[in-house]
Amino acid sequence: MSLSLNRRRFLAATLAAGVLRAGAAGAADRKRFGITLHPYYSYVANIVGNMAEVVPIIPAGFNPHAYEPRPEDIQRIGSLDAIVLNGIGHDDFAGRMIAASSKPGLPVVEANADVPLLPAAGSMAQSAAQSAARASGKVVNPHSFLSITGSVLQVATIARELGRLDPANAGAYTANARTYSRRLRQLRADALGKLASAGDTRLRVATIHGAYDYLLREFGLEVSAVVEPAHGIEPSPAQLAETIATMRRLDVQVIFSELNFPSAYVETIRRETGIRLYCFSHISHGDYAADQFEREMTRNMDTLVQAMLETGQ
């Protein structure tokens, strides 16, 4: 009796171990795709579903504008099968991390390969020479992820390239990418639908951070002025005075600032000019999540619609 029980236990244990091994093998077969920025986590997670693992190489909570590579993050690159990069200026640290990792030949997916890039946002607080270099288009605006069209184009590129690296799942990646892109397009259609009866919605816009050109172009808006010389770099008092004078001269109606990056001088601008201020999300905060991009872009577009409706009245 006890022998038979033991045998049964042994059998059950063996079976369980077999199942676990099979599960582990399944997990080992799954590709590991690295990402650097929050929106790219959402893109890749929606494209691969549960067929691959998405690995952020920067831990949540680090500001990508001020990130300095750490040894443990570089070590993580060694476990990846490929990495998806913004590649146009927002994660330039990644190339050096890959070179220093145990996999310097890691396949890189250039998400922006097919996106029509915009020049870096012109700042009111920069020299004429800098403005000329930017106007020539040699420096591009890396925030193509802060727009629906820019995101859909990147999702298509990522799905195609990841499919090449993981041919067994290529069809599923393409199908998932289309479903996700349709959802993203619907978010924009919903936001524009709210403007249907708004009449003329043209605005003269200034932004604190030069991140929102791609988004504003989708709504037919153009940025007249950008306040920060570079992200997180506060203008000097003299630059601030000039900024305020320029905003008055251009008769700017709306300023878009940024959630999670509070700056005391923004309040000074608002107080001095009396211009309405709204806040966008840069989508670079909080935990990595598949639905984060949709949530925060919905909020951004709601903010934009609210600004257009309130200012148009």
Residue whose CB is less far from other proteins, 69 or 119: 119
Structure tokens at 302: 């709601």
Q: What angle in degrees, to the nearest 10, is found between the helix axes of 148-165 and 170-193?
A: 180
Residue whose CB is less far from other proteins, 89 or 286: 89
How far is it, in rounded angstroms, from Cα 97 to Cα 90? Answer: 14
Q: Is 220 in the site for other proteins (CB under 8 A)?
A: yes
Q: Supply the DSSP symbol for 111.
A: G
Task: Tell which positions 74-113 bind other proteins, by CB under 8 A.
Answer: 86-92, 95, 110, 112-113
Q: Is 152 in the site for other proteins (CB under 8 A)?
A: yes
Q: Is 142 in the site for other proteins (CB under 8 A)?
A: yes
Q: Is the Cα dihedral 131, 297, 163, 165 positive or negative?
A: positive
Shortest distance (Å) from residue 222 CB to other proteins: 4
Closest CA to 278 of 310, 239, 247, 248: 310
| Contact string (CB under 8 A) for other proteins, positions 160-199, x = contact | x-----------------x--x---xx-xx--xx-xx-x-
Half-sphere exposure of 38 (CA within 13 A, CB side): 24
Shortest distance (Å) from residue 296 CB to other proteins: 20
Shortest distance (Å) from residue 170 CB to other proteins: 13
The residues, any chain, with a CB within 8 Å of residue 78's CB and separated by 6 or more, are: 101, 102, 103
Label residues 208-243 b or e (16+ Cβ within 10 Å = b).
Answer: bbbbbbbbbebbebebbbbbbbebeebbeeebbeeb
Shortest distance (Å) from residue 162 CB to other proteins: 14
Q: Is 121 in the site for other proteins (CB under 8 A)?
A: no
Total residues contacting other proteins by CB under 8 A comes to 51
> Which residues are near other proteins by CB under 8 A?
86-92, 95, 110, 112-119, 135-140, 142, 147, 149-150, 152-153, 156, 160, 178, 181, 185-186, 188-189, 192-193, 195-196, 198, 201-202, 214, 217-222
